[in-house]
Structure formats: structure tokens, C-alpha cells
Structure 1
Amino acid sequence: MSVSNPQTLAAPQAAPAGSPDAGTAPRLSGRLGVASIVLIVVAAASPLGVIGGTVPLAIASGNGAGLPFIYLLATAILLLFAVGFTTMTPHVPSAGAFYSYVDKGLGRRAGLGAAFVALLSYLALEAGVYGLFAPAVDEVVRAYGGPALPWWVWAAAALVAVAWLGHRNIELSGKVLAVLLVAEVLIVLVLDAAIVFGGGGSEGLSAGFITPSTVLSGAPGIALLFAILSFIGFEATAVFRDEARDPDKTIPRATYVALLVVGGFYALSSWLLISVWGDNGIVQKATDAPGTLLSETTALYLGTAGSHIVQVLLASSLFACILSFHNISSRYFFQLSRKGIFPPKLASTHAKHRSPHRASGAATAVVALFLLVAVVAGWDPIVQFYTWFAGFSSLGVVVLMTLTSVAVLVFFRRQGAPARSWKRSLAPALGLLGLLGILGLILQNLPTLVGNSVPLAIAVVVLILACFGAGAVVASKRPKAAAGAAPTS
């Protein structure tokens, strides 16, 4: 993936004269292009982490060799969502992603409720990924003869690095993400090429994803659930609106490119991974050793050196994921502070770096608190910390996408959009139906996502409803703050 070099962020822009926040609320600004924004959101999806972690789980508990088709289906559903999302972009000048769209379509109470759910979902996911990152680093260090340290040591070191990068401007984060993302994608593509030129496994290249009986075997609904979770982060393209070169063009293009790149990568790589072990053998292999499926496959085709490279890049992939979600969370803090929801000081930009440095600091503080709770409580970093927080985030993000789809339909209906308009009615409606189906699957399987605990699953749902309700209450009690000032582009 080629990455354009984003220009240094310009000085903060004042709001237009006469606007509610004129002269008081600085804005982020910059010239991020399509490739730069795609880079940030694709890094959030952690492609190597998905191929090495999510894909084996989806194969084992989903529909086996039919998984690549499910990834294509998930891409199609999200592309339908993106049609309405991007068509509405020129009408939503505020860089708030989901909550700005919900605000515009369903009103301030729903908008601020969505904002609270989004912020906590991204913070929880950022924190939870530390639970994957730290053990991955520990495994690499011990493999090369290093000491075995508590997982929180590596998490704390990464937290400091992320805080430093978040304090500086987005260009530096973009360069770091460029290196890490290109490396992780490249190693998987090299493996893919080796499998293709090697003719696949003993059974040749898999045809399971185009065989209806295979696609519908097992639990395709569970496979679809895992597939959707693999895409979380793509929708945050709109968070970087203020820093985009030409937001009305850049944001839609970045959204479509991110979806197509990620969806194509997952479908291709999962198909070839299945091909190595065969349609009949892959389910058993993924069930017996899901955590080592990718490294074992890499060792077969790229040798021990390739397997070691994958180990290292898996850790760097997870760091890139953390950094991406940190950038997203920071901008949610920044935009909500501009609206007066959080202390106005969080909406200031750094004099030198032109970054949302205080908002970044707030995000770091919340994540540090989550980590501290996990350490003090003695939670397992993967089985409990990551699993619980990822379960919450997964439900939260799908709820937000569903609300956004409803908001798009309501907004364009008010605008008098014809019922047969593809961009304003039909595609958003089809996307909404798909998301409602996915939401049902998540709710049905939420106990599994949060450690097979029904009480914890109920607590997750209650917490999301409480976040939404808290946002709605704040909007009612502080209508002027909730309204804020929609920044112009």
C-alpha cells in the first residue's frame, strides 16, 4: 500500500465570525489524503492480528472452509452502509463520525448518546488490545532468550509510547503506522504468493467458498459475526474530517478504499490459509491450535525465519491497532470538548505540533485506569481483559452503525429523497437490514464473546444503554453545549 505524506498540520483555525464558538474553539487542520486516512483506519483493523487470531476462531466455530464467502458478504453489507454514510458526508460538517450523523438525522439527544457510546467503545477496545499486545511481546522476547516479565510491564511501555506519539501531530503517527502496516501486510502477501505458486495444499486450492453446502455448513451466523468484528475501525474515516485535504471527497473515497482493501485482504488470505490444510482438515486444525495456525502455515512455506518474522510483526500489528484507536479516541474527546460537553481545555491544540495533545492525554489517562483495574483485579490479559472489553466494543460499534443507518434514512426522507434513490434510500435500507441481522447475532452470542458469562453479557448491554441515556440526559440539561458549533469545512 502506498502512503502519501500528509503535510504538517496547519495552525488551528478559528470558527467563523458569528458562530457560537467563534474565537474560542480551535480546530484541528491538515492535509491528510485518502491513502493517509486509509492507513490509519486499516491499521486499526490489525490485518495480521485478524488473520492470525480471528480467522482461525471463525473457521473453528463458524462455517469452516466457507469463511472467505462470509468475508465477501460482510464487505457487501458494510459497503451498503457506506453508501448512505458517505452520501450524507457533505451534509455533516462536524468531524464527529457516528454521533455527528446521528445528531443530524435523529436529533441532539440521540447524537450525544451515540457520542458517549462511541467514545467508551473505542477507549475500551484500545485498552483491551493491550491485553493481546503484551503477551505477544512477551512471547517474542522469551523466544530470543529474554526475561519473562509480567504482562503489564510491556503494556505500560506501550502506553508511554502511544502517549508520546499522540502528543505529537498526526503526521508522525501516520509514518509509524505506515511502516508497521506495510510490514504486516507484506509478510501475509508473501505467504499468500507462496501458497498460490505452490498450488495450495494436498487438495489444491479450496473451492469451499463457492460451494453452497460448505458456505451454509456449521454456523455461518457465527462466522459472519467474527467477520464483522474484523472490520471495526473502518468507519472512523469521518473522525479525521478536519484534517482531510478535501473532506467531501477524501472521506468517502477513504471509506470505500478501506472497506475494499480490508475485505479483499481477509477473503484472499483466509481462502489461501484454508487451502493449505484442505476443506476437510482446516476445521480440526483451527480447533486444535487456533493460536498457532498462522505461524505453522508460515513455517511450512517460508521456513523458521518466516515464522519468527510473523511473531514479531503480530506484536507490531497490535501496537499499530492501539495507536490507531488512540488517535480516534483523542479526536472524540477533542470534538466533544469543542461542543462544551467536556472541559474546554481538552479542545486546545499544541502550539508546536498542532495536535489535540490534551485530548490525547485524557484518552491515555482513561486507558491507564482500565489497565490499572485489570492488573489490581488480577484479570487474565487475554481471556478476561481483552475478551470482555472487545465484547463491549463490538456491540457498541454495531449499535452505532445501526443508529447511523437509521439517521441517514430519516435525514434524506426529510430532504424529500425519492424512495427508489439508490444512494439515499435503497442502499442505506439494505445496509440497515444487514446490520440489524448482525446486531441480533451479536446479542444472541454476546455471552460467548464475554467469557461465556450471561450476567456479564447483561451488564455490557446495560452499560451501553446507560452510556446512551447519559448522553441524552446531558443534551437535555445542557442544550447549548450539546448543540455546540458545527465547524465549517
Structure 2
Amino acid sequence: MSSSPPGVVNAVLARGKLGTPTLVFFVMAAAAPLTVVAGGATTGWAVTGVPGIPVAYLAVAAVLGLFSVGFVAMSRRIVNAGAFYTYVAQGLGKPAGVGASFVAVAGYNAMQIGLYGGFGVVLSGFLADRGINAPWWLCAYAAWAIIALLGVLRIDMNGKILAVMLIAEIGIALVYDAVMVTHPADSTVTFDTLAPSHLLAAGIGAALVTAITGFVGFEATTVLGEEARDPRRTVARATYIAVAVIGLLYGLSAWAMSVATGPDRVVDAATEQGTDLMFNLVSPYVWSEAVTIGRVLFITSLFAALLSFHHTVARYLFALGRERVLPSVLGRTSRRTLAPVAGSLTQTAIAAAVLAGYVWTGADPLVHLFFWITVTGGLGVLILMTVTSVAVVAFFAKRRHDENPWRAAIAPALAALILAAILVVTVQQFDILLGVDPTSSLRWLFPAGYAAAAFLGMFWAQYLRRARPEVYDAIGLGVEAETLPHRQGQPARLPA
């Protein structure tokens, strides 16, 4: 008999609730197209000084498409809300898997919580323009309260909300793109910012990680795999569709802005106007209502990303709680909605505490919370993708399988090499991303935080191996852990 308190059960998420379209809506909402187009691209230009942000988006889309080949091959064999954690554990061993899980929890929390800074500032400014004075933190906490409620409701209902927001923001972005391209600077449409030569420019590492941050969330198809219909097919389709659509939309929209400003002036324009750039470029040619709608959808884009990343964090915590790597209470779901209630409430509490810290210290929510923390979250996901590509190669090398060499070895190996190269350059240029002096200790503090999280996770795995071998046995297995002998009343055996 279950020992769960009334209203919750263990180890079960809502099966068969998400089809391919809904899964795409979830992951693209996390990528937040309008947020990236209006905020990410302009910030990328301003911070890095590299005009080639549009080609950086397309290059990253190509790399992530290559990464997805092995990633999807793994998803057909392993369906687990732990995603990266599970793949690394089964490919590179349980200690590496737990280390990856700690990096994942830190990275996705950084993405989710950092977005509160952008949401609070943008909504506060929008309201101030209409005579309503609301501090950024009040706006952020209003979103926090709504997300806290939605996080414990049915996943398919959340998907419908995200679908409406996503379709609207993609629609307005395409309208703006058409307006900007048909009104080019100096009456000339140029493709200069799409030139591959920009990928060799100084500061390109910072530009690439800025672009990668815009894609973070597409990999959540595997996190939601347990709740998908026919996950071995649905996850693959949703992953490829998300990467393709996101990459083309980002590249097109960033290029359109460079056409409207002129490629030689886009960096200066982005530096001066920031997130207002896109709206300022289209405002002379469209009705004022169209600009207002775009600004509203910018706000809802941030909210959609907050909600989507909240679900990702909650499911990582659920996966770790289900396997008792973290407290087992995190592995409990609502009996009514089958949502991971404990994981959701834990993420909600963490976000509330971090927001309170920023309010108390008076730190800049746009720079120190939104930009610094989300970029740091992007670094964490870049680390995870690099390690996971290596894990895919190792997983198939150790097992007999029917995958072709391209999926099992060649594509993931190439992805690992390219992602590792981007990772090295990113860490080297992290001072550019943060906008700090090259001698500042901050440039190493954030990357070092992930190293500490990985070390702590591997140390914890070794502790579990010796002190709680039955838990160590189950690492990375998810629902399959129930088939282990000790889960069926037989004694546990310490793995070799």
C-alpha cells in the first residue's frame, strides 16, 4: 500500500497527455521567441559588438540539429523526466549522471529565476507608460504567484495556455519582420549580417553562447517525454521541429532588424535603444495598436518562458526524488492532476527566496538578475549538451543495438567536438558576456559554480554507493527502478 499522504502518489506523471503540437508549444515557449528577438538579439549586439548575431543563430541551430541526432536516438530507448541526467548516468556512469543532475538543477533554475528580472522590469515599464506605478519586484511576484498555481495543475491545460501565447508572438514577430525588410535602411536590402565570416570575428564566443541561450528549452522534449503520447516518436518529431522553427525565426528576425538599421549601424542602434529597437523600427509604418500588441506579447513571451522552465525544473526534481537521489518527497505527484507537486512547490520556494535577495540588496534586476543569471543558465545547458553528446557515444558503444553509425557515433561525436569548442571559447570570453573587466573574479565565479555543482553531485553519488546501495542501483533508471530485485523484496547488491 502506498505511504503517500492523501492526494498524492509516487513515481507517476500524467501519461499520454501531450501530442507533438503541444510538446512543440512547450519547448518553443521556453525558448520565448519574441523575448529572444526583441531582447536577446539586441542584447547580443550591444554586449558583444558582433554584427553577425543573425548568422550566429543559424550556426547554433545547425549545431543543435546535429546534437539532436544522438539525443533523439537516446530518447527512443530511454523515456525519463530526468533527460540529461538519465542519459549521462546510463552512458558515462552513475556518478557522472548525478553530477550532471546537479548542474541541470542549477542551470534550469538560473534560467527560470533570471527571467523574473526581465519580466518585472518590462511589465513595470509598460504599466508606468500608462500611469500605473508598480515596482519591478511586485510585477515579478505577481507572475510568481500565477506560475505557482499553474505549476500544480494539469500539464495539458498549461500546454493550451502556452499554445495561444506562442502562436500570437510568432505571428507578430513575422509581421514585424515583413515591415522591417520592406523598409530597409538606405533603401537597400543587404545580407551582410548573415555572412559566415562573422563566425571568425573577435567576441564570437560570447555571441554564440548568447545565441545558445535563446535555444535553451528545446531539449525539454525529453523531460516531458513521460507525459507524451507515443514518446519514442513524439519526442523526436517535436525536437527537430522546435530546433528548425526556432533557428529560422531567430535568424530571420535578427537579420530583418539589421536590414532596417543598416548592418554597419545595428550594434550602435541596439546599444542605444536596447529592447525598444524592434518596436521603434516598425512604429512609423504600422498602427500604434500593433506596437502595443507587440509589447504586450513581449511580456507574455517572458511569462510563457517562466512557466515552461518552471515545469522543467519541477520534473528534474521529481526524477531525482523518485529515485531517492534527493528526498523522496520530491517524487510525489498529485493524485488528481498527476503534476509533480513537491518539485513544483520547491522550485517556487527557491524562486521566492532568490527574488527576495535581489530586492533586499537592491541589485539591478535587468543586468544582475535577467542578463547575468539567464546567460549563466545557458552556460549550464551548454555544459550538459556537451557531456550528453559524449554519453550518447559511450551508451551505444557499450551495447548491442540496431542504430546506424551516423546516429550512434558520428553525429554525437561531431556535436561533442563542436559544443566543446564553443564551451571553451565561451568560458574564455565570459567577461565579455558579463560586461566586466577581464581581471574580474566574476568571469570565473559563475563557471566555477557549475564545476562545484558537478563535483558535489559526484561526491553524493559515491556516498550513496556506500551508504545506500539500493538507491545507487536505481540511479538513472526512473520507473524501471521498480524492477530491481531490492525493490521487489530481494536484497540489494552493491554494483561493481
Common fold: TM-score over 0.5: yes
Give the letter for the 1:251 counterpart: V
Give the letter for the 1:467 counterpart: A
Contact 2:194/2:255, CA 8 A, preserved across alignment: no
What SS class does the counterpart of residue 187 from structure 2 fall into?
coil
Give the letter for the 1:169 counterpart: R
Aligned to 2:479: 487
Give the letter for the 2:328 counterpart: P
Q: Give me the whole-angstrom Cα distance separating, in 1, the residues matched to 2:108 and 2:94.
A: 21
Q: Deviations over 1:175-208 (max 9, x none)?
A: 2111211121111111123344x36343332221
Give the letter for the 2:305 counterpart: C
Contact 2:203/2:429, CA 8 A, preserved across alignment: no
Contact 1:63/1:215, CA 8 A, preserved across alignment: no
Q: Give me the whole-angstrom Cα distance separating, in 1, the residues matched to 2:156 and 2:196.
A: 46
Query: How has the CA–CA distance of structure 1 residues 213 and 91 changed in structure 2, closer, same or farther, with 3 Å as cutoff?
Result: closer
Aligned to 1:464: 450
Give the letter for the 1:79 counterpart: G
Aligned to 1:247: 231
Aligned to 1:160: 145
1:383 deviates by 1.5
Give the letter for the 1:109 counterpart: P
Q: Give me the whole-angstrom Cα distance separating, in 1, the residues matched to 2:206 and 2:103.
A: 24
Q: In the alignment, does 2:262 pair up with 1:278?
A: yes
What SS class does the counterpart of residue 88 from structure 1 fall into?
helix
1:61 deviates by 4.8
Instruction: Pick the aligned partner of 1:258 from 242, 252, 268.
Output: 242
Contact 1:419/1:425, CA 8 A, preserved across alignment: no
Aligned to 1:385: 369
1:91 deviates by 2.4
Aligned to 1:99: 85
Give the letter for the 1:466 counterpart: A
What SS class does the counterpart of residue 324 from structure 2 fall into?
coil
Q: In the alignment, does 2:143 pair up with 1:151?
A: no
Aligned to 1:187: 172
Which of 98-107 and 470-479 deviates more? Answer: 470-479
Aligned to 1:331: 315
1:419 deviates by 12
Contact 1:192/1:272, CA 8 A, preserved across alignment: yes
What SS class does the counterpart of residue 93 from structure 1 fall into?
coil
Q: Give me the whole-angstrom Cα distance separating, in 2, the residues matched to 1:66 and 1:262.
A: 17
Contact 1:203/1:278, CA 8 A, preserved across alignment: no
What SS class does the counterpart of residue 234 from structure 1 fall into?
coil
Q: Give me the whole-angstrom Cα distance separating, in 1, the residues matched to 2:442 and 2:156.
A: 39
Q: In the alignment, does 2:246 pair up with 1:269?
A: no
Aligned to 2:426: 442
What SS class does the counterpart of residue 288 from structure 1 fall into?
helix
Aligned to 1:6: none
What SS class does the counterpart of residue 478 from structure 2 fall into?
coil
1:64 deviates by 5.0
Give the letter for the 1:241 counterpart: G
Q: In the alignment, does 2:81 pair up with 1:112?
A: no
Contact 2:213/2:374, CA 8 A, preserved across alignment: no
Q: Give me the whole-angstrom Cα distance separating, in 2, the residues matched to 1:152 and 1:391.
A: 20
What SS class does the counterpart of residue 349 from structure 1 fall into?
strand
Q: Give me the whole-angstrom Cα distance separating, in 2, the residues matched to 1:418 and 1:173.
A: 37
Instruction: Pick the aligned partner of 1:230 from 214, 222, 228.
Output: 214
How many pairs were matched up? 467
Aligned to 2:299: 315
1:124 deviates by 1.7
Query: How has the CA–CA distance of structure 1 residues 140 and 466 changed in structure 2, closer, same or farther, with 3 Å as cutoff?
Result: same
Q: In the alignment, does 2:25 pair up with 1:39?
A: yes
Q: Deviations over 1:61-94 (max 9, x none)?
A: 5575533222211111111111011112222232
Contact 1:122/1:393, CA 8 A, preserved across alignment: yes
What SS class does the counterpart of residue 429 from structure 2 fall into?
helix
Please give the TM-score of this superposition, normalised by the length of structure 1: 0.90
Give the letter for the 1:455 counterpart: S
Give runs of aligned pairs for residues 78-93 of structure 1, distance below 5 A: 78-93=64-79
1:327 deviates by 0.5
Query: How has the CA–CA distance of structure 1 residues 227 and 144 changed in structure 2, closer, same or farther, with 3 Å as cutoff?
Result: same
Aligned to 1:18: none
Q: Give me the whole-angstrom Cα distance separating, in 2, the residues matched to 1:193 and 1:387.
A: 28
Q: Give me the whole-angstrom Cα distance separating, in 1, the residues matched to 2:26 and 2:70.
A: 22
Which consecutive residues of structure 2, in runs of 5 or more, have no partner in the other structure?
Answer: 482-496
Query: How has the CA–CA distance of structure 1 residues 434 and 345 changed in structure 2, closer, same or farther, with 3 Å as cutoff?
Result: same
Contact 1:68/1:267, CA 8 A, preserved across alignment: yes
1:213 deviates by 5.1
Q: Give me the whole-angstrom Cα distance separating, in 1, the residues matched to 2:416 and 2:341.
A: 36
What SS class does the counterpart of residue 24 from structure 2 fall into?
helix
Q: Give me the whole-angstrom Cα distance separating, in 1, the residues matched to 2:295 and 2:399.
A: 52
Q: Give me the whole-angstrom Cα distance separating, in 1, the residues matched to 2:197 and 2:10.
A: 61
Q: In the alignment, does 2:156 pair up with 1:171?
A: yes
What SS class does the counterpart of residue 115 from structure 2 fall into?
helix
Query: How has the CA–CA distance of structure 1 residues 446 and 212 changed in structure 2, closer, same or farther, with 3 Å as cutoff?
Result: closer
1:412 deviates by 1.6
Query: How has the CA–CA distance of structure 1 residues 213 and 411 changed in structure 2, closer, same or farther, with 3 Å as cutoff?
Result: closer
Give the letter for the 1:242 counterpart: E
Query: How has the CA–CA distance of structure 1 residues 211 and 261 changed in structure 2, closer, same or farther, with 3 Å as cutoff?
Result: closer
Contact 2:319/2:478, CA 8 A, preserved across alignment: no
